[in-house]
Amino acid sequence: MPAIDLATHPLTNWTGPLGLPDFAKLEDEAFGPVFEAALAAHEAEIAAIADDPDVPTVDNTLAALELSGKPLDRVSSIFWLRAGAHTNDTIRALERDIAPKMARHFSAISMNAKLFARIDELYRRRDELGLDAETKRVLEQSWKGFVRAGARLDEAGKARLAQINEELAGLGTKFGQNVLADESSWALLLDAGDDLAGLPDFLVTSMAGAAEERGSPGRYAVTLSRSIVEPFLTFSTRRDLREQAFRAWAARGENGGETDNRETVTRQLALRAEKARLLGYDSYAALKLDDTMAKTPAAVMELLTPVWEKARERAASDQAELERIAAAGGSNHPFAAWDWRHYQEKLRAEKFAFDEAELKPYLQLDRIIEACFDVAGRLFGLTFSERRDVPAWHPDVRVFEVRDASGAYRATFLADYFNRASKRSGAWMSALESGHRLRGETVKPVIYNIMNFAKPPKGEPALLSMDDARTLFHEFGHALHGMLTEARWPSASGTSVSRDFVELPSQLYEHWLTVPEVLEKHALHYRTGQPMPKPLLDKLLAAKTFGAGFSTVEFTASALVDMAYHARGEAPADPLAFEAETLAALNMPEAIVMRHRTPHFGHVFAGDGYSAGYYSYMWSEVLDADAFKAFEETGDVFNPELGERLKRHIYAAGGTRDPEELYTAFRGRMPSPEAMMEKRGLS
């Protein structure tokens, strides 16, 4: 095989429009050799920095380190995009091989004694170097990163930590692949007639498309995609079918055989506990929280515990109402988890005289995308132009050119909205290229969103639930965090902030979805083009906190179990028994299940991103509720002065300063949890 030329290879030299790869030239079989070449090239760059005989400077050490490994960054960004959004057998096999190699590679960098000595010397002299605030923070964060990655361990400790990191990387990949296998292989195929009792047209249409995709035209498939299974659990009057669907949904990763995640989780928790001890921490949670706003597990529990108690009380009173409706409808079954959404929707109709099916015709995907763009234009001066001539990794992907208020090119945004068997579940944002301005080079961001909405039949519009629409706004908020960055340093760019601050821009952006003037403009009926009637809009807004007990119990239970796993000095021998014991101690309502049960809790076990960090959504929610209140207090939710402050101190700032400093610069003070409790209707 000829040597790989990283300067010209399409995986590392991107020649497509808008700074994109030329996706038509990318071959799955090329990833392995290009990774090998890129890893070797990065190793050589690191050796040159570490062995530099000159006195360490910010430029020859810190900047050189930050800008090293560009070919590896590029092939990695495409590969992990494909692994999540459009995988296949070749990609899955490569993923199992590449994940531990990458972990081993970056462990070696973190434990390179000569490299750390240079960073350490800069860190010790940081107050003498005349550094600007962003550079000083990047240096401090880099030094802390080396220390937390084992730079100060002895050789035996470094070797063991490298082994742990490598094994954890492989286990995280295995976990995620197992969940995807369970999700993509299961479908409940139904026939017309009684099987579809109670289902609205939009859901029947989505299920028909899902069945056809699975080779069963003329039938209807309930899949484990949230955009199908949740409305099925909501509307189906067939309790037996709801039970089948719910049990399959709750059992992902726990079905025995090769895709069962129980042993994988057991091993992950044991390795994480060992890693924490090796690095001198009492628990893995203490290690992960060391560089967050919360700082300690105790601080996290101070937030979660009162919320849990209020949510449980609200859920108990709601359940009594749901049981009343069920009994009135002739049900004599014990109330179960597959009943909650169904009767909650009936209670919503009783209290507010509308249901999700009445709302959905007004929530066209294309219109909600326009609403996202409209809000970004009004707040931040951005415009979005679709480029239908630019191909991406799948025909469903849409490409947008982003310009700022002056008309200058700002970023490229890609969006992949529809569910398919080759895509893992959930929704997320990431970057093919992060924006920065180091050494005078201006690199424009290339940002993408992934969703899993049900794809409609050809020629029909995609209709969203309100939860889907919020998800779209949420992930677009993350995308704005990446696109608006003004950071000079790559490691401070966009979403490179502490885990419990990163959800602020996304959760805050959700608020603008339900601003009346946004809905009046963009919530148009897909057949008539008429705006949502004011009585329906009023009911929607009045019902904003409806079901808060259920949704908060679902979420907070997951956050509490995550923290319970990781705040221990030792891993539990049987994680699922521990999950059950933890929930029993919390008096978890029997008719509600964690939003993410352990065997499919991808945030926590399909990698390390949110381990001991799932609480961060609620931590950020305290911030986002308070931040939106600042706009409401001005009487103008598009207040231009406040919008400019929001852009400068939150969306554009990235990790250039401490998050508390950034929030205080925007708001003038730090918030208390009351605004969040009020937002959820729990105050």
Give the pLDDT confidence of 385-438 residue by residue, as tens digits: 999 999 999 999 999 999 999 999 999 999 999 999 899 989 999 999 999 999
Q: How many CA atoms lie within 13 A of 299 on its CB side?
A: 14
Rounded Cα gap, residues 174 and 661, in angstroms: 39
| DSSP for residue 291 | T
The answer to whether the beta carbons of residues 164 and 271 sit under 8 Å apart is yes
The answer to whether the beta carbons of residues 524 and 317 sit under 8 Å apart is no
399 DSSP β-pair partners: 414
* pTM higher than the cut 0.85: yes
Q: Summarize the confidence of residues 285-290 as an average pLDDT.
A: 96
User: Which pLDDT score is estimated for 354?
Assistant: 83
321 pLDDT higher than 70: yes
475 as an active site residue: the answer is: yes
Q: How far is CA 3 from CA 30, 33, 94, 597, 645, in A?
A: 12, 9, 20, 46, 50
The answer to whether the beta carbons of residues 618 and 307 sit under 8 Å apart is yes
Q: Summarize the confidence of residues 195-211 as an average pLDDT.
A: 95
Contacts of 338 (CB under 8 A, 6+ apart): 233, 239, 242, 243, 245, 246, 247
* Displacement of CA 598 from its chain's centroid (Å): 17
Tens of pLDDT, residue by residue over 137-169, are 999 999 999 999 999 999 999 999 999 999 999
Q: 409-418 and 428-433 as β-strands: parallel, antiparallel, unpaired?
A: unpaired
Tell me the two tokens of residue 38: 């890129």
- Matching residue, tokens 């299920």: 207
- Given 134, 254, 345, 475, which residue is catalytic? 475
631 pLDDT higher than 60: yes
User: Which pLDDT score is estimated for 520?
Assistant: 96
Sign (positive or negative) of CA dihedral 450, 453, 459, 460: negative
Helix (H, G, I), strand (E, B) or coil at 184: helix
What angle do helix axes 466-483 and 365-380 make, rounded to 10 degrees?
40
Q: What is the mean pLDDT of the chain?
A: 96
Q: Summarize the confidence of residues 43-58 as an average pLDDT.
A: 98
The answer to whether the beta carbons of residues 442 and 433 sit under 8 Å apart is no
Rounded Cα gap, residues 341 and 332, in angstroms: 17
Q: Summarize the confidence of residues 73-91 as an average pLDDT.
A: 97
The answer to whether the beta carbons of residues 562 and 283 sit under 8 Å apart is no
1 pLDDT higher than 70: no
Instruction: Let me know if 44 is exposed, middle or buried by CB neighbors in 10 A (0-12, 13-18, 19+).
Output: exposed
User: Which pLDDT score is estimated for 683?
Assistant: 79
Q: How many CA atoms lie within 13 A of 652 on its CB side?
A: 18
Task: Report phi then psi at 157, rounded to 5.
Answer: -65, -40
Rounded Cα gap, residues 169 and 588, in angstroms: 32
Tell me the two tokens of residue 634: 């001005």
Q: What percent of the chain has pLDDT over 70?
A: 100
Helix (H, G, I), strand (E, B) or coil at 640: helix
User: Which pLDDT score is estimated for 317?
Assistant: 96
All structural domains of the chain, each given as residue ranges with its CATH number in brackets, are 17-110+112-152 (1.20.1050.40), 186-251 (no CATH), 361-542 (1.10.1370.40)
Q: Summarize the confidence of residues 13-29 as an average pLDDT.
A: 96
The answer to whether the beta carbons of residues 118 and 472 sit under 8 Å apart is no
Contacts of 575 (CB under 8 A, 6+ apart): 262, 265, 266, 269, 565, 598
Tell me the two tokens of residue 615: 């609480």
Q: Which of 559, 544, 548 is nearest to 500 (CA)?
A: 559
User: Which pLDDT score is estimated for 299?
Assistant: 95
Helix (H, G, I), strand (E, B) or coil at 243: helix
Q: How many helices (H) and strands (E) does the chain have?
A: 28, 7
Tens of pLDDT, residue by residue over 453-473, are 999 988 999 999 999 999 999
Rounded Cα gap, residues 513 and 540, in angstroms: 12
